[in-house]
Amino acid sequence: MATRNGRRAPGGSPGGIRDAQQPVQQQMFGFNGQEVEQQTFSFWGPPPPPWTVAIGGAVATDGTVATGGIVAVGDAPATEGTGRPGRVRGEDPMALTWPLDGGAPESDFVRSLQEAESIEALARLARDCRQCNLRSGCRGVVFGEGDPTATIMFVGEGPGQNEDELGRPFVGRAGQLLDKWLATIGLKRAEVYITNVVKCRPPGNRTPTPEEARLCWPILRTQLRLIRPRILVCLGSPAVQALVHPSARITRMRGNWLERGNMKLLGTFHPAAVLRDLTKERAVEEDLRKLQAECARLGGSTQEGSGR
């Protein structure tokens, strides 16, 4: 796999936003009419409607930005075009503000999670987590698995029954489908890192609540800091809500690249959602091709058109 440091980011995708010829220091996104400040994402492809995007204090002039729409970047006027956006630069991309920051009450335990110096140390601490009620109704913490220096990190919503029984993420039918997806782009589980927004199984495999996600966030936040992936794949709405914005929906943002520090984020459907609705499979195939192409540009082990 590619190393994480010393790599130059790839060029923008066709239909993306125009280079403002300067770094983007602050960006603002409007979700469903609500302006959100201090977000530091930049699109590497056209943002999906109906999001309105305003970056660096400028205002997108067309209300809802669609493919080839108008986006304002930095101090430049809103303009149409293709090419590469201004880069968000920083010595530590993990020092950026995330949607769930500050959601978990401060405590000695939370501070110990945040100060963990290795994935192994964090996993040991996480086993004793009692931040929410999920721990009392499951067998144990399903922390995550894979390469702790992986270029690509997958984040789902939470463990299911099979995962809870085995203590590993994505090992049931959804996990088997994820393995198949990885194989189609020439990857193995051992080459990526796989985890969830919450680490304990919600009762009846229900979707984690926003409160549960907030209380579990210090663990995922520290995983991000320690692993430092170059590509972050969000599987389903709970993942994009934790990592992009609480109002984000996977149906609207899937297939579009976002940039977070020196990381690129891609959303796609959760494998369980595809098992319930096979019509989503075509969209996932498109997203996997984008992931494969991006990994190849970063120097990863997948090859364009190699699917096996």
Ramachandran bin of 58, using left for φ above 0, alpha for ψ from -120 to 50, beta for the remaining angles: beta
Q: Are residues 227 and 121 in the same domain?
A: yes
Q: In angstroms, what is the C-alpha Rg of the chain?
A: 19
pLDDT tens string for the chain (308 positions)? 433 333 333 333 333 333 333 333 333 333 333 343 334 444 444 444 333 333 333 333 333 333 333 233 333 333 333 333 332 333 354 566 888 887 788 889 999 999 999 999 999 999 999 999 999 999 999 999 999 999 999 999 999 999 999 999 999 999 999 999 999 999 999 999 999 999 999 999 999 999 999 999 999 999 999 999 999 999 999 999 999 999 999 999 999 999 888 899 999 999 999 999 999 999 999 999 999 999 998 875 554 433 33
Residue 306 lies in a domain: no
In the chain, the number of structural domains is 2
Cα distances (angstroms) measured from residue 14 to each of 68, 77, 92, 247, 304: 9, 20, 28, 27, 17
Question: Using an 8 Å Cβ cutoff, are 134 and 175 in contact?
Answer: no
Rounded to whole angstroms, how far apart are CA atoms 96 and 101? 10
Rounded to whole angstroms, how far apart are CA atoms 197 and 224? 11
Q: Are residues 61 and 100 in the same domain?
A: no
> Could you tell me the residue range of the domain that residue 29 belongs to?
22-75
Q: Are residues 49 and 99 in the same domain?
A: no
Q: Are residues 114 and 203 in the same domain?
A: yes
Q: Are residues 58 and 169 in the same domain?
A: no
Q: Are residues 132 and 268 in the same domain?
A: yes
Rounded to whole angstroms, how far apart are CA atoms 243 and 96? 11
Residue 82 lies in a domain: no
